[in-house]
């Protein structure tokens, strides 16, 4: 076991991770060309030591109503509206800069407000910008203004509401996205030139290039699939991925039509390259496992950020020839000895992290969602590493109700959460017993919906050590009512998965404060919740903690003043990390002592 004085360096991983993942991957020059917004409000560019271009330390002002990085041209574009026109500043990574104006038509009411900007192609195929603007009469006054240096502004008033995600007048195509609560987005293909009726599609927009779009579609009761959508004919072709949940995709900008696909299988992301000529998919060689996020796509290649609990972080680059380049990021490799494996405990899939020596305790980690999944990434900002240091095994549970394991695995939990989760929990308890860890040495750790499951686990097994719930979803009925008030489509979504009737008992509703506070007197429970949480309600945690304390149960609510559902900056990230770490130490009673979390604690 690592000595206690090693803890501070490990805790710093949380701040390293949040800082790094907020950086922009702009390009590749013998390594990643990165940009970060610093305290002066400007974008500062860092380049590798071996870079061919001397750009290190370059600073680009971000003073504008909207800012856009154009991968295709290596430009950072800022747009500012005044009373009569748009002022555009194009700042290249090569140090060159250009400033130009475009006249805008007068607003019908008051003046225009700029809400978005996208890079696009005009009818001649030349690069241009399309501004989304609205006047003082509100969202129904939205217009799209296509602007280009030295050219007349073209205006299009959309036939349907939504956010513009793609514009290419060579194909008479404008694609708008309308978020629809829990369902796939509603996409509409409009024809700005011919004014033909919009064509609707239900899918998530991933990319658009050369007259085609990439759509990730999730049909009801089925796993996600990737489609190539022809923006001229509206026909589509399915991209065959060997296995896994399709997470993201991009076109290679080389005219080949090839597509890079990120798919998740057995808790880790994989890269595939699809070739349209023969409809074949090849798996790209990756060193180890981890979470992959596509960060940029331009003519010279596609940039990706990779992060893993044990391996740390990396920047990847897929060049035009299909070769994958890799360089290490700021998050170091875990320097202890531990193993990671994807295993099945009965019908329960688990990402299992084991320390080198026989575990002295175990943590069952529960992701949010529920329709999400546990991946090998830097979960809880590196907390698993410190648990492994302390000899604690971690079971990242893809409980029944998660995605990525087929429709039956997802739907088997619907309106049967107690039965389904009991099976998952018992499987984990049995696995821990094989390592010599008794139920009293098992803590449940969950965030958001996973926080509610952590509390439910303590209700189902009174012999467990306790639970740590970060921003938990405690009152499903009230949560569903609030979500449905904002978007009515949530009503059916929640109704299919949970018992919501006011006449139902707390046990029937399962995720109800009265039911979830039926923990045992010997179980420690800690809730960690931001006071400004925009997803789950801090007030619900407050009421649940009050109810538990009224029952003389050892519950604690740690309130993070001013924090939201997830940390918004490195300071909040470190704060959340210390609070969760301290809470787990109190529940298990074995982790090294660290500095006390500076949070306001409720009863």
Q: Which residues fall within 8 angstroms of residue 85, CB to CB, at 6 or more apart?
A: 101, 102, 103, 104
Asked if the model's pLDDT at residue 300 lies above 80, the reply is yes
Q: How confident is the model at residue 63, as a pLDDT?
A: 85
CA-to-CA distance for 370 and 410, rounded, in angstroms?
9
Residue 393 lies in a domain: yes
Q: What is the DSSP letter of 529?
A: E
- Kindly state the tokens that stand for 26: 């702009």
Q: Is the CB of residue 129 less than 8 Å from the CB of residue 77? A: yes
Q: What is the mean pLDDT of residues 155-167?
A: 93
Mean pLDDT is lowest, of 127-141, 267-281, 509-523, for: 127-141
Pick from 476, 419, 472: nearest CA to 450: 472
DSSP letters for 315-383: EEEEETTS-EEEEE-SSPPP-S-EEEEEEEETTEEEEEEEESSPPSEEEEEE-SSSSS---SS-GGGGH
In this predicted model, which residue has the larger pLDDT, 471 or 41? 471
CA-to-CA distance for 512 and 520, rounded, in angstroms?
17
* pTM more than 0.85: yes
Asked if the model's pLDDT at residue 275 lies above 90, the reply is yes
Q: Which residues fall within 8 angstroms of residue 35, CB to CB, at 6 or more apart?
A: 23, 24, 26, 43, 44, 45, 46, 60, 69, 76
Identify the H or E element spanning 96. none
Q: How confident is the model at residue 450, as a pLDDT?
A: 95
Residue 583 lies in a domain: yes
The torsion angles phi and psi of 462, rounded to 5 degrees, stand at: -75, -5
The tens digit of pLDDT for each residue in 313-370 reads 999 999 998 899 999 999 999 988 999 999 999 999 999 999 999 999 999 999 998 9
Residue 157 lies in a domain: no
In this predicted model, which residue has the larger pLDDT, 446 or 217? 446
Does residue 483 have a cis bond before it (omega within 30 degrees)? no
The tens digit of pLDDT for each residue in 496-514 reads 899 988 888 888 889 999 9
In this predicted model, which residue has the larger pLDDT, 251 or 218? 251
Q: What is the mean pLDDT of residues 20-40?
A: 90
The tens digit of pLDDT for each residue in 523-546 reads 999 999 999 988 899 999 999 999
* Mean residue pLDDT across the chain: 88
Q: How confident is the model at residue 220 (pLDDT cuts 50, 70, 90)?
A: low
Residue 541 lies in a domain: yes
The torsion angles phi and psi of 275, rounded to 5 degrees, stand at: -110, 115
Name, of 27-31, 175-179, 438-442, the range with top average pLDDT: 438-442
The tens digit of pLDDT for each residue in 405-458 reads 888 899 999 999 999 999 999 999 999 999 999 999 999 999 999 999 999 999
- Kindly state the tokens that stand for 548: 């538990």
CA-to-CA distance for 569 and 139, rounded, in angstroms?
31
The torsion angles phi and psi of 443, rounded to 5 degrees, stand at: -115, 150
Provide the number of structural domains found in the chain.
Answer: 1
Mean pLDDT is lowest, of 218-222, 251-255, 340-344, 359-363, for: 218-222
Residue 444 lies in a domain: yes
Identify the sign of the CA torsion 474, 476, 481, 485: positive
* Count of CB atoms situated within 10 Å of the CB of 596: 9
Question: Taking each helix axis from N to C terminus, what angle separates 476-486 and 489-497, rounded to the nearest 10 degrees?
Answer: 160
Q: Is the CB of residue 553 less than 8 Å from the CB of residue 527? A: no
- Residue 351's domain comprises 338-473+511-601
Look-up of token digits 């740590």? 468
Q: What is the mean pLDDT of residues 551-568?
A: 91
Q: What is the mean pLDDT of residues 490-499?
A: 89
**Residue 339, strand partner residues:** 354
Asked if the model's pLDDT at residue 595 lies above 50, the reply is no
Mean pLDDT is lowest, of 100-104, 408-412, 515-519, 591-595, for: 591-595
Asked if the model's pLDDT at residue 54 lies above 80, the reply is no
Give the helix, strand, coil percentages of the chain, each rounded to 5. Answer: 20, 35, 40
Residue 9 lies in a domain: no
Q: How confident is the model at residue 55 (pLDDT cuts 50, 70, 90)?
A: low
Pick from 433, 367, 354, 360: nearest CA to 397: 367
Q: How confident is the model at residue 122, as a pLDDT?
A: 95
Q: Is the CB of residue 516 less than 8 Å from the CB of residue 474? A: yes
Residue 222 lies in a domain: no
CA-to-CA distance for 78 and 509, rounded, in angstroms?
50
Residue 292 lies in a domain: no
Q: How confident is the model at residue 484, as a pLDDT?
A: 86
The tens digit of pLDDT for each residue in 113-152 reads 999 999 999 999 999 999 999 987 665 689 999 999 999 9
CA-to-CA distance for 306 and 602, rounded, in angstroms?
38
Q: Which CATH number do you get for residue 469? A: 3.40.50.1820
Q: How confident is the model at residue 298 (pLDDT cuts 50, 70, 90)?
A: very high
Q: What is the mean pLDDT of residues 224-237?
A: 92
- What is the rounded (10 degree) CA torsion for 105, 111, 114, 119? 10
Q: How confident is the model at residue 141, as a pLDDT?
A: 83
Q: How confident is the model at residue 182, as a pLDDT?
A: 64
In this predicted model, which residue has the larger pLDDT, 389 or 6? 389
């Amino acid at each position: 076991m690592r000595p206690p004085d090693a803890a501070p360096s490990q805790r710093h991983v949380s701040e390293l991770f949040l800082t790094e993942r907020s950086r922009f991957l702009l390009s590749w020059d013998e390594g990643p060309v990165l940009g970060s917004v610093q305290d002066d409000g400007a974008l500062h560019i860092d380049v590798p030591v071996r870079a061919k271009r001397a750009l290190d330390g370059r600073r680009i002002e971000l003073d504008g109503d909207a800012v856009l990085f154009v991968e295709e041209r290596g430009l950072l574009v800022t747009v500012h509206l005044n009373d009569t026109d748009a002022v555009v500043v194009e700042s290249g990574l090569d140090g060159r800069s250009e400033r130009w104006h475009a006249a805008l038509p007068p607003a019908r009411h008051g003046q225009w407000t700029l809400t978005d900007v996208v890079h696009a192609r005009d009818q001649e195929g030349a690069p241009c910008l399309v501004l989304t603007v609205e006047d003082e009469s509100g969202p129904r006054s939205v217009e799209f203004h296509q602007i280009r240096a030295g050219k007349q502004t073209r205006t299009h008033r959309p036939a349907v509401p939504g956010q513009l995600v793609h514009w290419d007048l060579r194909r008479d195509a404008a694609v708008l996205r309308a978020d629809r609560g829990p369902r796939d987005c509603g996409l509409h293909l409009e024809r700005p030139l011919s004014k033909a009726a919009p064509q609707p599609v239900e899918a998530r927009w991933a990319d658009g290039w050369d007259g085609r779009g990439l759509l990730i579609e999730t049909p009801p009761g089925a796993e996600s699939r990737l489609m190539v959508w022809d923006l001229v004919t509206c026909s589509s072709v399915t991209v065959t991925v060997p296995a896994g949940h399709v997470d993201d995709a991009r076109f290679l900008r080389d005219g080949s039509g090839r597509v890079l696909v990120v798919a998740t299988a057995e808790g880790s992301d994989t890269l595939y390259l699809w070739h349209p000529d023969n409809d074949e998919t090849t798996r790209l060689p990756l060193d180890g496992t981890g979470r992959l996020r596509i960060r940029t796509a331009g003519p010279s290649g596609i940039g990706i950020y990779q992060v893993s609990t044990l391996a740390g972080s990396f920047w990847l680059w897929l060049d035009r020839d299909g070769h994958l380049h890799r360089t290490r990021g700021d998050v170091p490799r875990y320097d202890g000895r531990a193993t990671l494996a994807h295993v099945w405990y009965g019908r329960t899939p688990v990402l299992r992290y084991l320390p080198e020596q026989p575990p002295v305790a175990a943590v069952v980690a529960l992701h949010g969602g529920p329709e999400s999944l546990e991946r090998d990434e830097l979960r809880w900002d590196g907390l698993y590493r410190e648990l492994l240091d302390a000899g604690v095994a971690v079971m990242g549970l893809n409980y029944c109700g998660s995605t990525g394991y087929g429709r039956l695995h997802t739907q088997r939990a619907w309106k049967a959460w107690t039965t389904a989760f009991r099976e998952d929990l018992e499987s984990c308890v049995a696995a821990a017993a094989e390592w010599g860890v008794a139920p009293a040495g098992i803590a449940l750790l969950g965030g958001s919906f996973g926080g509610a499951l952590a509390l439910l686990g303590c209700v189902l097994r009174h012999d467990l050590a306790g639970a740590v719930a970060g921003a938990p979803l405690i009152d499903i009925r009230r949560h569903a009512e609030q979500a449905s008030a904002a978007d009515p489509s949530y009503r059916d979504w929640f109704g299919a998965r949970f018992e919501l009737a006011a006449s139902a008992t707390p046990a029937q509703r399962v995720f109800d404060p009265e039911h979830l506070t039926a923990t045992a007197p010997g179980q420690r429970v800690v809730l960690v919740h931001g006071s400004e949480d925009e997803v789950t309600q801090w007030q619900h945690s407050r009421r649940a903690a009050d109810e538990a304390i009224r029952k003389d149960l050892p519950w604690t609510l740690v309130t993070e003043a001013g924090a939201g559902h997830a940390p918004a900056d490195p300071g909040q990230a470190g704060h959340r990390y210390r609070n969760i770490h301290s809470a787990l130490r109190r529940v298990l009673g074995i982790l090294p002592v660290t500095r006390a979390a500076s949070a306001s604690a409720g009863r």
